[in-house]
Amino acid sequence: MGLVEDLLTNRYLITPSAYYLLSDYYKKDFTLAELIKFAKARGAFVIDSSMAEEFLRKKGILSAGAPVEGGVHEPLEFGGEFSEEVSSTDENGAHVAPSGDSTPMPANVGEILALESRPGSGGGTSISTGTVSESTPVVPSSGGLEEETSDFSGGKSFVSTGTAGAGVPHEPSPGETAPEENEVEDSSGGTLPVEREGYVEEAQEDVGGVESAIEQPAPEESPSEVSVPEASIENGNGYNGNGYADSEEYYEGNGNGVKPKIVYGDYGVPIAYTAEEVPEEEKSYSVYRDVVITPKEGFHYRAKEIPDEWEVAFDVKNVKFEVPKVKSAASKEGEIVIKVYADYFRSRLRKMRRILRENPELGSVIDIGKLSYVRGEDEVTIIGLINSKRETAKGYMFEVEDNTGVIKVFINRNNSESKKFFQIMPDVVVAFKGRYSGRGIFFANRIFLPDVPKFKRTKPPLEEKVYAVLLSDIHVGSNKFCEKAFEKFLEWLNGEVNNRKEEELVSRIKYMILAGDVVDGIGIYPGQYNELEIPDIFDQYEALYNLLRNVPDHITMFIGPGNHDAARTALPQPGFYDEYARPLKKLKNAVMISNPAVVRLHGRDFLIAHGRGIEDVVNFIPNRSHHRPAEAMLDLLKLRHLAPTFGEKVPIAPDPEDTLVIESVPDLFQAGHVHVMEYKIYNGVFLINSGTWQAQTEFQKMVNIVPTPARVPIIDVETARLRAVVSFDQFCEGV
């Protein structure tokens, strides 16, 4: 065999320029063992031109200070020429090494042929998609790589899809027979599959530029039987008309006549179809694959016998937005954004006017632009957006706007209605009843918030009791995640109860709602990375899946996003990004919902929102705190909006319609976000913040938030009221 094959057999790589330097002297003036010993002493497994030159000088083949004859040669662009001293060209246009080695080299020799093979009971070849500089030797990373390169007696093949040096051995499963492998490198730097005897390897590519080591099955033949595929050159450079290697011409296989199957997609990018998933490399952290909990034998679930009766009554994904129309193609981007937000607030005003006009106390409502036609002694009502508010010596002044105009509204401090001044946030829609002065000021004597009616229509009772579990802010991936407590909760759902009362509760649980922040995410708050147990967002969702798969199948889960999740940051959040939360789609009993959403269970409407609007309530309304989230939720309910203030802590997306308006009054309003469980009843609506499963973080200490983790509220669906709270906080460290 030639120099390249011999080095591959012993898991060493060589650059083309180094090959041209050494090939003439190989087996004549030095042996393979001498070259490997020299490379090992320098801690490298890639032999480049500088190392090759140093080796030849040490062997005395090149005298010290003498110029290299045709040795070091810089890579050329396609169509470039090489010195005759370096290589010659055969009749097909392929470059042939001067040593007489029959292996032709592709014309684009600027790329490294990084083929690797491990000897022993199995071996194989692969081609790295990385490119190593010839002027910089590759130094093995810590973790035993140097020891591996010196082990010639055994090993397993691997494929590196990035920088050379990362590999994970793969143990074939029992009974598995792995065929011979070959990988070829395309011009875009991706690894393309080669089909051999009906077996197709999976093409791998780096995600986000991060190097990944992919396991591959080990071939059965010995390393000595592995050969380098010969290149067939077309048009003198081995590339087809679109700049990519042609699958029929570029590689002819390794002697068995099998050619790679490559399908070109859009823009000429090669697409490879894969036959099976490649096992992932082992992580230094757990993603809870070993957490397997099965229902307790003999435990009777009454909920299984109760028919399902649920629907997603409102979901942001189902709202069809109209694309904003611009005057001409020359319109600037800023004009489009302004128009979108103008449509957004018009939508809010339109919906709020409809809500407010259901109040019989309002009387006649008139547009602001038509107040000049009203006599001074007539009492009328105006409805508008609050642009600003301020306190004066005698009372409170508002600037109110609707579609027809803007006006200042004044209410006297001695008026009992004036205390509503403190409940009103910027950008909310309210109604004022009073008289117009004719001088541009409206003197109000009543203020009407959108609010909810005091009385609700009763709903028919259910034939049997059925319960729902409300969760939020699980924060899987944080080192403050109460994993032991959550596992105890899952065991409890599977029948591991302590008494008959708990048995009755568990047997009738049919629904579970998760209101956002199901994982901890990456880079959400300062210093978060130091508190991550799972520093990979993909693995966080995989870990969540491994936990939730233990929820009994008869329990339907509704899962929505929060600000820590892989979803749109601004409200509303239509849902999770599929590429990250794909594991959740494998849960057969899970339904992905938006933030916000309305889930109708047996005729009862559950309004589910993550609760970021609480931040602005705490910011604007006096005597509001993160420690009392139910009071802040009540303020949002009275204003009939989940995030009313624009441009403050809560980002709002430029959608042409405001989907954060609480148009219909729910039976239950659930939120999370602030990690404190609290509940309240207001005008027949049950409000509850469902707490968290995360102990106090360093950031929460800085902002003085004391969480109440691992508490599970159980809701009676018929009454939409709290049935019980089951606490698992004794299993949560740091509480």
* Residue pLDDT, tens place only, 575-588: 999 999 999 999 99
Average pLDDT, integer, range 165-188: 42
Residue 137, C-beta contacts closer than 8 angstroms, at least 6 positions apart: 42, 44, 46, 48, 50, 51
pLDDT at residue 337 in the model = 74
* Rg of the chain (C-alpha set): 35
Listed in sequence order, the DSSP H helices in 88-211 are 145-149
- Do residues 395 and 418 make contact, with C-beta atoms less than 8 angstroms apart? yes
Taking only the tens place, the pLDDT of each residue in 111-125 is: 333 333 333 434 433
Decide: pTM greater than 0.85. no
Mapped onto helix, strand or coil, the DSSP state of residue 586 is helix
How many helices (H) and strands (E) would you count in the chain?
13, 30
- Domain final residue, candidates 236, 264, 282: 282
Residue 506, C-beta contacts closer than 8 angstroms, at least 6 positions apart: 299, 301, 492, 493, 495, 497
Mapped onto helix, strand or coil, the DSSP state of residue 89 is strand
Q: Is the pLDDT of residue 236 over 80?
A: no
Most confident of 51-55, 91-95, 205-209, 709-713: 709-713
Burial environment of residue 211 by CB neighbours within 10 A (0 to 12, 13 to 18, 19 or more): middle
Task: Count other C-beta atoms under 10 Å from residue 606's C-beta.
Answer: 26
Strands 668-671 and 685-690: parallel
- Domain final residue, candidates 448, 482, 497: 448
CATH (domain of 572): 3.60.21.50
Q: Are residues 397 and 477 in the same domain?
A: no
Average pLDDT, integer, range 295-322: 93
CATH (domain of 396): 2.40.50.140
- Asked if residue 304 belongs to a domain, the reply is no
- Asked if residue 303 belongs to a domain, the reply is no
Q: Are residues 124 and 189 in the same domain?
A: yes
pLDDT at residue 175 in the model = 44
pLDDT at residue 446 in the model = 96
CA distance 577 to 565: 9
- Domain final residue, candidates 242, 265, 282: 282
Q: Are residues 425 and 474 in the same domain?
A: no
Mapped onto helix, strand or coil, the DSSP state of residue 545 is helix
Q: Average pLDDT of the chain?
A: 77
57, 311, 575, 587, 668 from 606: Cα distances, Å: 80, 11, 18, 22, 5
- DSSP label of 223: G
Angle at 221 between CA 217 and CA 224, to 5 degrees: 120
What is the number of domains present in the chain?
3
Q: Are residues 152 and 181 in the same domain?
A: yes
Confidence of residue 151 (pLDDT cuts 50, 70, 90): very low
Give me the helix-helix angle, 613-620 and 629-639, nearest 10°.
90
Task: Count other C-beta atoms under 10 Å from residue 716's C-beta.
Answer: 18
pLDDT at residue 535 in the model = 94
Most confident of 130-139, 156-165, 435-444: 435-444
Mapped onto helix, strand or coil, the DSSP state of residue 634 is helix
Q: Are residues 443 and 506 in the same domain?
A: no
Residue 414, token pair as written in the block? 């001695």
Strand segments (E) across 527-624: 556-560, 590-592, 597-601, 604-608
Taking only the tens place, the pLDDT of each residue in 371-415 is: 988 877 889 999 999 999 999 999 999 999 999 999 999 999 999
- Asked if residue 535 belongs to a domain, the reply is yes
- Asked if residue 626 belongs to a domain, the reply is yes
Q: Are residues 406 and 483 in the same domain?
A: no
- Looking at per-residue confidence, does 339 or 292 come out higher? 292
CA dihedral 112, 118, 124, 130 (to 10 degrees): -20
- Asked if residue 345 belongs to a domain, the reply is no
pLDDT at residue 223 in the model = 39
pLDDT at residue 219 in the model = 43
Q: Are residues 522 and 670 in the same domain?
A: yes
Q: Are residues 8 and 123 in the same domain?
A: yes
Q: Are residues 11 and 149 in the same domain?
A: yes
Q: Are residues 119 and 177 in the same domain?
A: yes
- Do residues 97 and 103 make contact, with C-beta atoms less than 8 angstroms apart? yes
Mapped onto helix, strand or coil, the DSSP state of residue 118 is coil
Average pLDDT, integer, range 586-600: 97
CA distance 436 to 439: 8
- Looking at per-residue confidence, does 562 or 259 come out higher? 562
Confidence of residue 279 (pLDDT cuts 50, 70, 90): low
Least confident of 19-33, 144-158, 713-727: 144-158
What is the residue range of 619's domain? 464-729
Q: Are residues 437 and 568 in the same domain?
A: no
pLDDT at residue 672 in the model = 96
- Do residues 355 and 663 make contact, with C-beta atoms less than 8 angstroms apart? yes
- Chain position carrying tokens 């070959």: 182
pLDDT at residue 332 in the model = 64
Q: Are residues 551 and 700 in the same domain?
A: yes
Q: Is the pLDDT of residue 508 over 90?
A: yes
- Asked if residue 326 belongs to a domain, the reply is no
- Asked if residue 254 belongs to a domain, the reply is yes
pLDDT at residue 10 in the model = 83
- Asked if residue 494 belongs to a domain, the reply is yes
Taking only the tens place, the pLDDT of each residue in 617-658 is: 999 999 999 999 999 999 999 999 999 999 899 999 988 899
